[in-house]
Chains A and B, each alone.
Chain A
Amino acid sequence: MNFNVINLRKTVLKMAFAGSTVHIACAFSLIEIMAVLYRNHLHFPEGRFDDPNRDYLILSKGHGVMAQYACFRELNWIDENAIENYFSNGSKLKGLSDAHISGIEVTSGSLGHGLSVGVGMALGAKLKGSKQRVFAIIGDGEMNEGSIWEALLFAAHFELSNLLVIVDKNNFQAMGTTDEVLKLGNLKKKLEAFDFETREIDGHDEAIIDKTILELLNSNTKKPKAIVAHTIKGKGISFMENNNCWHYTRLTSETYKQALKELDIKN
Chain B
Amino acid sequence: MRNTFANYLIEAARLDEKVVLLTGDHGYALFDEFRKLCPNQYFNAGIAEQNMIGVSAGLAKTGFKPIVYGLSAFIPIRVLEQIKIDLCYENLPVILIGDGAGIVYSALGTSHQSTEDIAALRGIPNIIILSPADASEMRACFKLAQESEQTVYIRVGKADLGSVHDMPVDLKMGQIIPVKKEAKTDIVFIGTGSIVVSALEIASKYSNSSVWSVPCLKPIDKKQIVEVILNSKVIVTLEEHSIYGGLGSIISEIASEFNVKLPICTIGINDKFSTYCGNYKYLLEEHELDILSIEKKINDFFLLHNLVISFVSQ
What residues make up the interface of A, taking CB atoms closer than 8 Å to B?
52, 99-100, 105-107, 110, 112-125, 127-128, 146-147, 150-151, 153-154, 157-158
Contact = CB atoms under 8 A, between A and B. Distances in A.
Contacts of A99: 89-90
B89 A120 contact: no
Contacts of A150: 46, 48, 50-51
A154 B55 contact: yes
B6 interface: no
A125 B59 CA distance: 8
Q: Which of B52, B55, B60 has the most CB of A within 10 A?
A: B55
A121 B62 contact: yes
Interface string B9-33: 0000000000010000000000000
B69 to A, nearest CB: 16
B62 A115 contact: no
Contacts, number: 96
Interface in B77-130: 81-82, 85-86, 89-90
A105 B54 contact: no
Main secondary structure on A side of the interface with B: helix
B64 to A, nearest CB: 6
Contacts of A100: 89-90
27 contacts: A99-B90, A106-B57, A107-B86, A110-B81, A112-B50, A113-B54, A116-B50, A116-B52, A117-B55, A117-B57, A117-B61, A119-B58, A120-B54, A120-B58, A120-B59, A120-B60, A121-B59, A122-B58, A124-B58, A127-B64, A128-B62, A147-B50, A147-B51, A153-B46, A154-B51, A157-B46, A158-B43
Given A116-B50, A120-B59, A124-B64, 12 more contacts: A52-B63, A116-B55, A116-B58, A120-B61, A127-B64, A128-B62, A128-B63, A150-B50, A151-B51, A154-B55, A157-B46, A158-B43
A52 B40 CA distance: 22
Contacts of A105: 61
Contacts of B59: 120-121, 123-124
B48 to A, nearest CB: 4
A106 to B, nearest CB: 8
Interface size class of B (residues with CB under 8 A): 20 to 34
Contacts of A146: 50
A154 B86 contact: no
A112 B89 CA distance: 16
Nearest to A124: B62
Contacts of B60: 120
B56 interface: yes
B45 interface: yes
B77 to A, nearest CB: 15
Contacts of B51: 116, 119, 147, 150-151, 153-154
Interface string B34-75: 000000100101101011111111111111100000000000
Contact of B85 (A110, A127, A157): A110
A100 B91 CA distance: 11
Nearest to B62: A124
Contacts of A127: 20, 40, 64
Nearest to B56: A120
A116 B86 contact: yes
Contacts of B90: 99-100, 107
Contacts of A157: 46
B58 A107 contact: no
A53 to B, nearest CB: 11
Nearest to B79: A147
Contacts of B55: 116-117, 119-120, 123, 151, 154
B50 A124 contact: no
B54 A115 contact: yes
A117 B58 contact: yes
Nearest to B84: A110
A107 B85 contact: yes
B184 to A, nearest CB: 52
Contact of A154 (B20, B45, B64, B85): B45
A18 B90 CA distance: 29
A257 B123 CA distance: 45
A113 B48 contact: no
A52 B63 CA distance: 9
Contacts of A113: 54, 81-82, 85-86
B89 A119 contact: no
A13 B203 CA distance: 69
